[in-house]
Every structure is written in structure tokens, then in C-alpha cells.
Structure 1
Amino acid sequence: MKKNSRIDRAEILKLAIEEIQRLKKKVNDYPNASTEPIAIIGMACRFPKGASTPGKFWASLKNQEDLVGPIPEKRLAFIPVDTWKKNPYLQEGGYLKEDIAAFDHRLFRFSPREAERTDPQQRLFLKVCWEALENAGYPPDGLRGSKTGIYAGIMLMEYMQQLAAYRKISHDFDPYDISGNGFSFLSGRAAYAFGFQGPAITTDTACSSSLVSIDRACKGLWMDECSMALAGGVNLLLSPESTLLFSSLDILSKDCRCKSFDAAANGTVRGEGCGVVVLKKLSHALRDKDPIHALIKATGVNQSGLAAGPTVPHGPAQALLLKEVWSKAGIADIGPDYIEAHGTGTEIGDPIELNTLIQLLPKHRKNKVFVGTVKTNMGHLEAAAGVAGFIKATLALKHKIIPGNLHFNTPSPHVNWDQSCIEVPQHTLAWQASSTAGMRTAAISSFGLSGTNAHIVLEEYSTEMPAALEKHMDENRKWPFRFSARNTAALQQQWIAFASFVQTYPNVQMDALSFSHNSSRADFKEKTVIWAKDSHELLIILNAAIADKTAVHPIKGLWRNSGDLPQEMRNTAHKETGHFMETQQNTALEQHVFAGWIEGEKIDWKAYYKGSNLRKIDVPNYQFSDKIFDFISGKLGVWQHRQR
């Protein structure tokens, strides 16, 4: 008995020593893990006036377009005429061009009844998450069970309030009113839709919600709570009441323009939209051959504390946060090259923010620090404002261009311009690399009305891309393009969008186009493959497929089902283990891979293209088969109209 006890104690001691060594290693490794840059590998957006993709958004920024406009006519139908015609704050705003009631309920497994009782903000967020995953090169149905986190920002519950008003008159209680409108379900429903098993966290810190969500996502990655993260925010203007409430705070512009940093600044203008970014640790992104748009070097969040008021910006708190984040990013001595400011266009907030920057930035800096804000383009997107500025800064780094700031004519007299190295660019300009700072850097600030401040520093990512493989291959090689949808009508929409893209970019590299399209598409019931050697042939086949509404006529270069496969490939055991690199010497292997996919085999496209060094480019997203679910206008609106 005593002998066994001695053995037990020895074994316990051995295990304890091993555990101590393991923990020591973890502690030693921790500082490196918590400072590793985070790679931005994907992004998607739905912003005002048709800026519905990162490409369209960037074109609007570069061209300095004003995306603020009148209230969409459909939304005026149930607003009392006196309410909006006589109120200057309701005349214009940053409104989405699309119908915000549109939703592909079958794709996201909603019943019609559930869809109509679900906040359009939740519906829009789901769609933009889908598009962000595709942009990152991941099929949205391919991450089920993965340790992917979702971090979402939101602040308004107008739809829930409208449903409550409807329940009072109808006594129609529905359980979907809870799952469709509770803030926790914004992230929870997205995790359910995509099968994620990482953290699902919704944040409401008012205007800083989405940038705080990105900060939370980075911390989740650094702490290994998730291996990949989606982060962003959403904001829709569903009721004029919120605008009237904000106007009572004296922070809205009567001419509905955000004139940030200008002497004529008289408030902000409200806007709506949604943005989502996909994030990974840099080492993991490199390992997985993900596209990398830019790097997150450091993030931080703090609170204004005892300021002049609970909604008043607090310069000392902003300064403390920026110093901490700049120090973590390694730019404390010089500051960033560009700052995407909160810049709401208010008489109090802008001077506090800019004078704080002036105090922090070194007077001896040789290069100017450019400051701008996307709010001058499309208004204040509130819960989605931070991610809008984040995407703008990312695109600016990627393209090495700084967009000009709108409505900046006369510098505000309340800013100490003569003591600063900052400059607000009035026109879009090339971003010259700093000779002292190395890589270009950008910082984004987002200060919530609640007092919660967020700040993030980005750094450009540059790498030598390999020459296009197409140049080293047989010019007659056929490139595959797989299309899948729930039904033939939806399939037609995919073809139409892709044909429009190819027509717009006829000189696109076929290898990059094929890889980018194939690697990011979800699988559905209908499956087709198009084989083409160049964009001209691809466009001919696409147009023929679009024109054939019956879907029965054979089209050369198009596989619509097993019957279109070459005879030798039908009902055979395909080489499922084939990889793209092997097909360079034997293209028949690639035909077997795609024939197997047509016949129902599940293909791991990441594994198939592994080692190819193909370059991910932006391609058209999946075209949603949206239907209109406008419960409030359809029921509550009709009742309100009858009462007048």
C-alpha cells in the first residue's frame, strides 16, 4: 500500500512539473501571440446610393461623390406629410438605394412569417456576412462547425418598437418578435446561419459599436477564442422619430450635410448601411493563402468617464486611448500617416478631436498627417460608422490613394491649425510613402455618444505576387467556372451578373478569375460548369446560357447536369484527390474533379487549389433571390393610414 502511494506521488509530481513547464511556455509565448498583426482578408458593404460593394464604394470615395439624398419614396408613404416637409432634418440622409425590406428567406432558412417579423437590420447583416465570406474566398456553407467568431454592432431598435405598437392594436403576439429583434440574435442568428461555433457577440456602444466589435474580434483572435472572425455593424433608418430625437440634442445639420472640420459645420446628417470585415491572425492567413488587404497593428477601447456631460466628447480620454494604441502599434513617436477621424461635423466634437490630435502629433514631423472622414460622403452611419471608416482606410492603404474630403472649404476657427502637421485633403491624392515611417499607416477613430471610444491602427500589406500562371500555360487550356443556385431562375441571375462583370473587365486574368469564382461559391441543388479559354469565349457561353430559357438545348462548353458530361466521365469514380497543380500537366484531371462535383461529390476547394499561388480578385457575389417582407408598412402602416 505504501509502495503504491509512493508511485502515485511520483507520478503526480511528474505530471505537475510537466504542467508547470507547459504553462511557462504559454506565458512566454503570450506576448508574441497578443501582438501578432491581424490580417484583413475579406470585406463587404452595403452603403448609400448604390455603394453596395467595396469596389463601388471605393469608386465613390475616389471620385468624391456625395451619397446623401432624399428619403426613398416608398418610406414616405406612411410618414405624415407635416412631419417631414416642415422638418429640415428629415429632408435628406444617407439612404440605401436597395429596398431594405428585400430578403432571400429560403437561402437563410427563414419562413415567410419569420422573415417579416425579423428586423431588416438583422436580414441585411446576414446578407453582408455572406458577401464578406465570398470576398475572403470562403464558400459560405463551408465553415460549419468551425471556430469562427461573429462580432456585430447595432444601436437602434425601431423595428421592435413598431412591432410593439402593432401588438397594442392587434393583440398579435409572435415568438419571432423576440428572435427577430433582440440584439443578441444579430450575432447569434448569423452564427446559426453559417454554423459557426466561435464567440457570437453583439455590441451596443452607440456610434462606436462597429469599431468596438472589430476590437473585440481582434482580441478574440489574439486569445485563440476563434480562428477566424467576422466583425462589423448595421444601421437602418426605419422611423422618423429617431431623427427627431437626435435633433433635440442639437447635433444634426439643418441642411443635411456633414461639413466636418469646416467653419460652416453645423451638425451631422444621419445615414444607413452595413459593413463586415473578415479577420485572421497574419500567420494563419499566410498559412491558408488568404488574400490580405491590410494589417491591423493595434486596437483599443476606453470610456470618456466624467466628461462635461454623458454625451459630450472628452479630449483627455481620446488622447489617452490614442497614445496607448499608437504605442502598441510602434508609432508613438511619429503617429500614423492618415487618420480616419470620427468627424461628425459638430461645432463641439470636431475641434476637440482635431486639437487632441494636434497635441499628440510631433511638431517636427516632416510629412503631413492627412485627416478625413467618410461622414462627409454619406452621413453618420451610427452603429455602422466605425466599420465604414475602417473599410475606407483599408481601401486607401490597398490602393495607396487618399480620398478627398467633401464640404471642406474654410478651416474651422476653433482648431489650432498653425500649430499642427495635419492637413484635410480637399481633393483625392496619391499617397506618397513616408521616407521615415516605412510602411504606410492609417488610424481610425470612433467615439460613441455613450462615451465609449475605439481606435485602431492599420498598416499596409505588400508582397510580391507571382506572375499569372496563364502566361506559362497552353493558350488553348479551358478554364472551369462553377455556378450553383437553389433553382434555375436563381442560376440565371448568377450568369447575368457574371456576364456583366466579364463584359466590364474583358482583360481579366482567366486563372485568377477561375480560382476566385470557384473557391468562394456555396453548393446548391442546381450545379453547372462553364469551360472557356478566354473572356471572349466565356462571354459567348454565358450569353447563350442566359438566352436559353428552356435549359434543354446543348451548349458547347456548358455542363448543366450529368447528361452534359463527356461519355467517359459519366457515373465513374472520379479522381477526387486531384489537385490544381497536377492539372497543369494533365487537364483531364481537372475535368474529372468538376465532373465529380456535378455528380454530387463534395469538393474541398481550398485543398484543391492549395499550393497554386493563384491571386484572389474581386468577383460578383452570389445574387440573392430576394422577396419583399415589409410587415410594418403592410399592416401597421395601413392601420395608421386609416386613422388619419
Structure 2
Amino acid sequence: MPMPPTTPCPPGPLDVAVVGIGALLPGSHTVEGFWRNLVGGRDLLRDVPSSHWLIEDYYDPDPAAPDRTYAKRGAFLDPVDFDPLAYGLPPNTLPATDTTQLLSLVAAEQALIDATGGDLARMDRERVGVILGTSSLELLFDMACRLQRPVWLKALRDGGIGEEQAGLLCERIAAQYVPWQEATFPGLLSNVVAGRIANRFGLQGPNCTVDAACAGSLAALSSAVAELQLGRCDTVLTGGADTLNGIAMYLCFSKTPALSPSGDCRPFSADADGTMLGEGIVMFALRRLADAERDGNRVYAVLKGLGSSSDGAGGAIYAPVPSGQELALRRAYEQAGYGPSTVELVEGHGTGTKAGDTAETTALLNVFAADGGVGDGPWCALGSVKSQIGHTKSAAGAAGLLKAVLALHQRVLPPTIKVDRPHLSLATAASPLYVNTEPRPWVRDSVHPRRASVSSFGFGGSNFHVTAEEYRPAAGRTRAPRARDAEAELLLLGADSPDGLAAAARRLAEAERPLSDTARATQQDFDAARPYRLAVMAGTAEEAAGRLRAAAARIVRDPGLPITDPCRTRYAGPSHGGRIAFLFSGQGSQYVGMGAGLALRVPEAQEVWDGAADWGGELGLAPHRVVFPPPAFGETARRAQEDVLAATENAQPALAVQSLAQLAVLGLLGVTPHCTAGHSFGELVALHAAGVYDARTLFRLAARRGELMARAAAGSPGGMLAVTCAGERMGRILGSTPPDGLWLAAHNAPDQVVLAGAAEAVRRAEREFAAQSVVTTRLRTSAAFHSPAVAGAAEPFDAFLDLTSMNGPACDVWSNVTARRYPSEPAAVRELLGAQMTAPVRFADQIQAMYDDGVRVFLEVGAGTALSGLVTRALGSRPHLAVPCDRPGTDAFTVLHDALAALAVHAARPIDFAALWKYHAPVPTTQRRKPRMSLPISGSNVGRLYPPARAADAGPPAAAPAPPVTAAPPARPSALAHQERTAE
């Protein structure tokens, strides 16, 4: 009697911790390098190197050309300095060992060292397994080619070649391939990729490889997770390895056909026309989360759900089926215990083929749309690392998972490049998914952790989808160190004389170590009390060396002349100090993306945006959604985003958060002001910085003020006009008092005022000034702020202030209204702040008063550079330093470093730079021993005579005369001799 069908209970969330990572990928031999390339949007596709195969031998643009490929580009591993003796390998066996096996040892060592903090003795090696995704190895193809002698001989005979000469020719052909030896059989087996790792590192859990084509690495992950869930292993090393980009692989993808005729990989783009091949090795050390926390492991992310499926019957064996993919997605979220509506990043399979991308987006949209969404518009970023490193086949899922894990760990939404127009299915406002084309801070409230998912699909209908979660450690738990991805690093030097400083700069220019290590060391050693100080910023070690040498020459030539080259070089001698003021920018300075670089790289800055997401939930505001919106395609869409942010009800809370983020970082570094001031809205932030109210209160005040002013603008629309001319000339043009409907809203500098008024009055004034050749700028505001036109907002704002708890200022705060200090009593602070909404801004007078009070350093906090410029216009040539913390169009982290450099060099201010390095791994105190021998190994196997050995992309060498066919075959050098010559 048949048993009734049963519905199994879904297992609980995986709760598997990623505790170690290793990676060799195009453009980098480290995980940190991969992340830097990823966030930097680096395109790593290039022509096939001659170490793999020669383009002139196999390329034909005609897809139908027999035994030819119409593709000649891909993404390839740079040579890795491989020391066979360090891994217990006899050098003469390297030509008989596939590169995938050799390089996998390097990636495995990286992951194991990362997982154990360098102490491999921490592992219980009896309970560590190795399960990897791989496919056939290139050496198998090469050795099979050597066995075609009967075919060659038959062809030569059929061509009329005599038996003896045919035999000699066959010998010469065979000599182009590595000869068989004892090490060849294990050297060409894909399972030995895992076996060699287990052997070398003494791991006694299971070792095996899994082949699910392009889904192989996530198939391996599935098996690895099962070993942990069943309790058979405590740690599993898993991932994918694929260095097979020989001509056979290109022919396979060409005749399907799946490669891009245009030679590029553009996943999820309307212009996608195929994929490009890549190669790489990525490994993860996994542990049960409870064990990882118990043992103090550093955790990158937590895997929560893993779904797998097959496409079942129907269609071609290699054609993707959306319904099969949907099944894998649904199973993953069922196990995770949450729906896709809580997922904000999907790293898709994203091959860039039309059929593949269409099937994948169909499946994703069906599953995500069915689960609902959060807020208006798309909420989940979609991308594929293949846009940068191509399709790494068996390692593709692991490369995607590495991107997602690092995105969670770094709290960054990484870019997918080459998308000028998104796939048609993603180009509608109803889509929950959008293609993320630029790195953006991943802002998340406290409702749940950040969540990301990864898909990988393979020929034969193998579908895998894994979902992961940010690790939010409890007190005492450990997160893994962050990757360093600064666009530029800051080097600092101090000395007792100009000559000593120049000599130190020249010595530093000769240093041979990573730029970030040099930056960290110089910042930690810097003493602002030294009388001569130098700061250099650069993006590469070569750039830094050039700037250091140039600065040294300049200092020797003219030691008394300061150097002020923002974001490049700063130099100064003895400083007379002076008080420091923080100036906070006002409405109009905001722009889409402001502060992104800082939030991307400093957790304390991003935590401010996260906090504002929580505060905004109470008020229906989400500042990060208007400051860091999904990328816009087209100028019209970009202008629409700027307009949304410029709306007063959005601009003021957003500026508050931007300023708070910078304040958090400055406080972390020990940079504090003697006094504060702001321009218009910025005065609210200045009061917060002086301790009058906390950050949450500031946000609520900004939201209420913006709402009331927006309402006033709707009832009394108007505008504002910045006029560049001295007050006397303006009076001659407009008369002794502004005409009806126009008011003086701000006196910013001796040669700049701002007028506010009704729209027609502003237009009329604009025409009158233009007739007198006076430069004017229409400000992006919706009302005549700081004038009687917005009086309707003042009364309800006063009432709101009456309900706001305040303290007296802990330091001086300068008022726009009076150009004097704020009073110390909270009631008087409320009254003056309320009056500020309609009163003219006396900024020029205020700066003069501050200067008279001893302020010499003005640090602009917030967005843009407007206030720094106004300070310099107000003070002219009088000694002062005006420095912005933000410059539109320049990375915010770089600009902050330049501001710090200015304070350290020109103002001789001590700064705790170590605070910016606390999340990064410390500089190693010892160097790894020098290898006894080193062989550069890339994806191509060692010891092959075809293709001829030559530098990649250098063009063919001069042809050597071929020996006569009747001569004996040339003696083949031993592998050991080849290795030794290479090492020399």
C-alpha cells in the first residue's frame, strides 16, 4: 500500500559563520586587493595573454569558422610568486601538476591563516574538511593531446610522408607537450585540488571536489554546510577554483555560443551580448556560528539559508529555466526564515548573455515582487562581479559570495560596471530590483541586520541560491578586520629643520612596502610639535614617491614658503596657532552622494546614517534614501534626484546627518573646536556641537524646521539671489533700500550679499544686475528664506522649540542674528534661535568678530566649500586657515584626510590618527622569510612549449630557424633546470 506524501519540516537557519577568506582573482592576489578593485570599479578584462594561447593561431571574428574562437579577451590571473619548497613540492614535478592545484594551496593557506589568526595549531585538524567546486583541469587536455600520435601518423601517411620522416615529425609534435611522469596522474585530477590541500595542511576531515559546472562552488558550499550541520566537521574549507582558460574552453563557449561578440561582459545591461571568461580561486573557512563565537573567531558574515534545485524536464540542457531558479530561491528564504523583501543586495549569476540575464531577472522579480517591498521604488541592489572579472566558471559562485560577504562586512553596496541602460525588466518603477552602478554606503536601521543573497547556475540545470546576513556581534564578540580601500593615503613627516624634513621625504620616497603600511606608520609617528611639517597624499606608491621628491626639492629651494596644494601636498614651518572654529554649512550646499566616501570607509560615520534611519522611521523620513538613492540613468533622472534632495523638508535633515557624520569622525580623532558657528540652518548644528542638545534632537529640529519652511514656501513661493558686488555698488543699483517684495537675506562677505523675495521681484533684480554686468547666482531654494516671507513658519517653530530640552552652550556659539556669542541661558538660546529663521544672516560680521576674538582656523563641517570661500573673502590676506571637510566631486574620505593634513601641518594641531586604523589589521612586524626559490605561476600550466614562452602582449619574438625534420628531436631541458633558471 503506497504511503501518503509527507511535507518535511524545513530546517532552521544555517547560522554558519564565515571566519576566514582567501582569494586569487584577476588584478589581485589578496582579498583586500580584490575589494579595492571591486569598489574602485576596475575593469580587469584584457586580451588573452600569450602564456595561454596565441590570438593569431585561434582568433577569427566569424563565429562559424571551424576550430576558431570569435573571442580574444577575458580576465586572467597575474603571475603569483610560487615557492614549491614552501608547500613540500619537488620543483621537477611542477610541469606535471596543474596550476589549479598549485595556486589553490596559496588561497587555502590565506583562508586558514585568516581563520586562525596565523596560528594553525588552533585547529583540530581531524575535524577540518575541504570541499571545493572544480571541473576538468587543463593538464588533462594537454596530456590527452600528447596521446594523439596515431592520429598524427595517419594524417602524415595519408599526406604522402614517408614512414621514417612521419615518425620523426610525430616525435617533434610530442615534444611540444610535457612528458608523462609519476606525478602526472595526480597532477591532472580535479579531486586532487582538495586532496593536495588536505595533505599539505594535515586536514583529516573529508576532502573532495564537486562539479556542477558554473554552479560548482555553491554546490561545494552546500556540501560543506551539510558537513557542519551533521556535526561531522567543525571547520570546512570550501569555495571554487578554476584556472582553465585554454583554447579548448574558449571553443566550448564560442560554439554554444555564449561569448560576447563585442568582447565585453555587461551583466543586467540592455546592451549585454554575451559573457567573457575569467579565472580565479576563492576559498572560505566556515564554522558553526555558535562554535565560532565560543572560540573567539573573527566573523565576516553569517550564512542563513541555502536553496538548490534542478530545472527538470523541458528545453535544451544548457538553457536556463526561470521556474527552476525560482524554486532554489524560495527554498533558500524558507530555510533562512525571512523573505526577500528584507534583502537589499543580490549578487546575481549575471553572465551577460541575453537568455541567462532574462531568465534570472524573471525568476528574481517573480520571487521578490511576491514578497512585497519596503518603501517606494526599488529597494534591492542587483549586480554581478562578472562585469569586472568575467565568468570564472567553477569559481563563479564563490567569487560572487566573496563580493556579497565583503559587502556585508564593509557595509557597502558595491558597483556593477558597464551598465548605461539596465535590462528592460529592471527599467520600470515597479521593479523591486535596480542595478547598482556605483559604490554606496549600505545604510540600515536596527530592525534587522543587512542581508545579501547570491545565485549561481550551471549547465545541466543546477541552481543554487544562498542568503547571508551581516554579523552584528554582541559585546565581547569579534568582527573580522575591514579591508582598506582608500582612494588616497596620507603620509606625514615632521623635522627640526627644512633640510632634515627634505631628507626624511627623500628617504620615505625610497621605501619599498605597501602604501597603506607607509601611511599608517607615518601617521602613528607624526609629531605636530615638530617645527617643520609635511603632508603628502597619493593613490599609489609611485605617485607618493614622486610627490615626496618634488616636495623635498621645493623645501630645499624655498624653505620659508608654505605649500598648500589640497589633496596633494602641504608644507609649513613654525605655526603661531590660534583658536579653531567649526563652521556648519546651510541649505543649498547639499548634493546627492555627499559624504559617501566617508560613510563607506569609517564605521562611526555610517553609524550616524544608520541612527538617522531609525530616527527617520518615527517621522517618515529616510535621509539616506535621498542622499544615496539608487543610481539614476540619464541626465533627467539625475536632476530629478537633486530636486528631491533640494526640497527643504529633505535638505535640512539630510544636512544635519551629513554634519553629524563628520562630527563623529572628528571627535574620534580628538579634533574639537574652541567655538562653533553656522550659516542659516547650520547654526542648529553649531548649537548641537556645543552640547545644547543631542543628535536625535537636532534631527527632529531639522525635520520640523524643514517641514515648516517647506509649508511656508508652498504658501508664499519666492526665491533667493546671490549678488557678487560690494554693498555700496548694490545700493547704487537698487537704491538705499531694496524695492518692494525684496529683502536683504544675508551679508556673506564684503563683496557678496543674498537677496530674497517674491519670484517676480527676484527676476527683476536679476535683470537689473545683469544690465550692470554684476554676477548673480539664483540659489536652489523654494522660498525667500531669512525674510518676512517665511514668518508663517516662525511661530510654530518657536512653539516646537519651547518643547525642546536644551542646555547652555559648553563652548562659544556665534549667532547669525547678532554676530555675537549666543547667551548661556537655555531660554535665551531658544529665543535667539527662533528669531534666526526670519532675520538676515550677518555672516561677514560674524566672521570678523570671531577673528577679533582670536579664531584663526575655520574648519567647514557639512557639505561643500562655500563657507571656506566666504571666510577667505571676508578676511582677505590676514593670516588664517579655512579648510572644508567636503568637496563635491572628490572622495569624501580623501577630503577629510586633506582637512586633517591642513590642521596637522598648517595649524600644528595634534590628531589621533590611530583611530582611523583600528578596524584594519595591524602592520606585520616581521617579514615572511625569503623564498628559497620562486616561480611566477599564472593560470596557464608550467613547462608547456606551446604557446611559445614570451612576455604577455609583447608580440611574437623573432623566429628561430627550425631544425631539419631529419634531425633527432631536440633535447628537452629538465623541469628542475627550467625552474632554477626562472628563479634566477
Give the TM-score taking structure 2 as reference length.
Answer: 0.45
Question: Aligned partners of 2:290 and 2:402: how far apart in 1?
Answer: 22
- The question of whether the paired residues in 2 share the 8 Å contact of 1:351 and 1:415 is answered with no
- Tell me if 1:62 matches 2:39: yes
* From 146, 157, 164, the counterpart of 2:126: 146
* From 391, 394, 399, the counterpart of 2:402: 391
Question: Aligned partners of 1:120 and 1:460: how far apart in 2?
Answer: 34
Q: Which residue of 2 aligns with 1:428?
A: 439
Amino acid at match of 1:94: A
After TM superposition, give the deviation of residue 198 of structure 1 in Å. Answer: 0.6
Q: Which residue of 2 aligns with 1:503?
A: 518
Identity across aligned pairs (percent)? Answer: 26
- The question of whether the paired residues in 2 share the 8 Å contact of 1:125 and 1:233 is answered with no
- The question of whether the paired residues in 2 share the 8 Å contact of 1:401 and 1:429 is answered with yes
The one-character-per-residue Cα deviations of 1:206-262 (angstroms, maximum 9, x if unpaired) are: 101111111211111111111101111111144122102211112111222111111
After TM superposition, give the deviation of residue 164 of structure 1 in Å. Answer: 2.6
Question: Aligned partners of 1:402 and 1:203: how far apart in 2?
Answer: 30
Q: Which residue of 1 aligns with 2:466?
A: 456
| CA separation of 1:466 and 1:328: change in aligned 2, threshold 3 A | closer
| CA separation of 1:195 and 1:619: change in aligned 2, threshold 3 A | farther
The one-character-per-residue Cα deviations of 1:252-278 (angstroms, maximum 9, x if unpaired) are: 112221111111110000001110011
After TM superposition, give the deviation of residue 501 of structure 1 in Å. Answer: 5.8
- The question of whether the paired residues in 1 share the 8 Å contact of 2:95 and 2:944 is answered with no
Deviates more, 1:628-637 or 1:425-434: 628-637
Question: Aligned partners of 1:135 and 1:509: how far apart in 2?
Answer: 25
Question: Aligned partners of 2:283 and 2:57: how far apart in 1?
Answer: 37
Q: Which residue of 2 aligns with 1:91?
A: 72
- Tell me if 1:185 matches 2:192: yes
Question: Aligned partners of 2:421 and 2:477: how far apart in 1?
Answer: 48
- SS of the aligned residue for 1:505 comes to helix
Unaligned runs of 5+ residues in structure 1 are 1-30, 469-495, 511-613
Q: Which residue of 2 aligns with 1:534?
A: none
* From 895, 916, 921, the counterpart of 1:617: 921
Q: Which residue of 1 aligns with 2:373?
A: 365
Amino acid at match of 2:39: K
Unaligned runs of 5+ residues in structure 2 are 1-8, 62-67, 150-173, 479-510, 526-917, 950-958, 966-984
After TM superposition, give the deviation of residue 454 of structure 1 in Å. Answer: 1.1
- Tell me if 1:442 matches 2:419: no
| CA separation of 1:352 and 1:635: change in aligned 2, threshold 3 A | closer
* From 627, 631, 640, the counterpart of 2:935: 627
Q: Which residue of 1 aligns with 2:337?
A: 330
Question: Aligned partners of 1:628 and 1:426: how far apart in 2?
Answer: 34
- Tell me if 1:40 matches 2:18: yes
Amino acid at match of 2:520: Y
- Tell me if 1:402 matches 2:413: yes
- SS of the aligned residue for 2:308 comes to strand
Amino acid at match of 2:202: G
Amino acid at match of 1:462: R
- The question of whether the paired residues in 2 share the 8 Å contact of 1:148 and 1:198 is answered with yes
Q: Which residue of 2 aligns with 1:71?
A: 48
Amino acid at match of 1:127: V
After TM superposition, give the deviation of residue 113 of structure 1 in Å. Answer: 2.5
- SS of the aligned residue for 1:146 comes to helix
| CA separation of 1:499 and 1:452: change in aligned 2, threshold 3 A | closer
| CA separation of 1:634 and 1:317: change in aligned 2, threshold 3 A | closer
- The question of whether the paired residues in 2 share the 8 Å contact of 1:128 and 1:275 is answered with yes
- The question of whether the paired residues in 2 share the 8 Å contact of 1:144 and 1:195 is answered with no
- The question of whether the paired residues in 2 share the 8 Å contact of 1:33 and 1:222 is answered with no
| CA separation of 1:91 and 1:32: change in aligned 2, threshold 3 A | closer
- SS of the aligned residue for 2:341 comes to coil
Q: Which residue of 2 aligns with 1:158?
A: 138
* From 370, 392, 401, the counterpart of 1:381: 392
After TM superposition, give the deviation of residue 133 of structure 1 in Å. Answer: 1.0
Q: Which residue of 2 aligns with 1:269?
A: 276
Amino acid at match of 2:381: F
Question: Aligned partners of 1:276 and 1:633: how far apart in 2?
Answer: 27
- Tell me if 1:234 matches 2:241: yes
The one-character-per-residue Cα deviations of 1:292-319 (angstroms, maximum 9, x if unpaired) are: 0110011122211213111011111111
1:341-352 correspondence to structure 2 within 5 Å: 341-352=348-359
Amino acid at match of 1:103: F
Deviates more, 1:119-128 or 1:141-150: 141-150
Deviates more, 1:35-44 or 1:374-383: 35-44
Q: Provide the alpha-carbon RMSD of the alignment.
A: 3.3
After TM superposition, give the deviation of residue 450 of structure 1 in Å. Answer: 2.6
- The question of whether the paired residues in 1 share the 8 Å contact of 2:21 and 2:111 is answered with yes
- Report the structure number with the largest CA radius of gyration: 2
Amino acid at match of 1:72: P
After TM superposition, give the deviation of residue 359 of structure 1 in Å. Answer: 1.1
* Greater RCO (Cα-Cα under 8 Å, separation 6 or more): 1
Deviates more, 1:257-266 or 1:326-335: 326-335
- SS of the aligned residue for 1:313 comes to coil
After TM superposition, give the deviation of residue 335 of structure 1 in Å. Answer: 4.8
- The question of whether the paired residues in 2 share the 8 Å contact of 1:270 and 1:379 is answered with yes
Question: Aligned partners of 2:46 and 2:921: how far apart in 1?
Answer: 32
Amino acid at match of 2:374: K
| CA separation of 1:230 and 1:504: change in aligned 2, threshold 3 A | farther
After TM superposition, give the deviation of residue 106 of structure 1 in Å. Answer: 1.1
* From 185, 198, 213, the counterpart of 2:220: 213
After TM superposition, give the deviation of residue 371 of structure 1 in Å. Answer: 0.7
Give the TM-score taking structure 1 as reference length.
Answer: 0.68
Question: Aligned partners of 1:337 and 1:95: how far apart in 2?
Answer: 30
Amino acid at match of 2:94: A
The count of corresponding residues between Structure 1 and Structure 2 is 479
| CA separation of 1:41 and 1:174: change in aligned 2, threshold 3 A | same
- Tell me if 1:315 matches 2:322: yes
The one-character-per-residue Cα deviations of 1:417-447 (angstroms, maximum 9, x if unpaired) are: 45421111122111121565x1110000000
| CA separation of 1:428 and 1:460: change in aligned 2, threshold 3 A | same
Question: Aligned partners of 2:407 and 2:308: how far apart in 1?
Answer: 23
After TM superposition, give the deviation of residue 162 of structure 1 in Å. Answer: 0.5
Q: Which residue of 1 aligns with 2:267?
A: 260
Q: Which residue of 1 aligns with 2:577?
A: none
After TM superposition, give the deviation of residue 43 of structure 1 in Å. Answer: 0.3
Amino acid at match of 1:165: C
Q: Which residue of 2 aligns with 1:540?
A: none
| CA separation of 1:349 and 1:628: change in aligned 2, threshold 3 A | closer
- SS of the aligned residue for 1:297 comes to strand
Question: Aligned partners of 1:616 and 1:290: how far apart in 2?
Answer: 16
Q: Which residue of 1 aligns with 2:301?
A: 294
Amino acid at match of 2:409: K
Question: Aligned partners of 2:366 and 2:13: how far apart in 1?
Answer: 27
1:583-594 correspondence to structure 2 within 5 Å: none
After TM superposition, give the deviation of residue 52 of structure 1 in Å. Answer: 1.9
Question: Aligned partners of 2:522 and 2:11: how far apart in 1?
Answer: 42
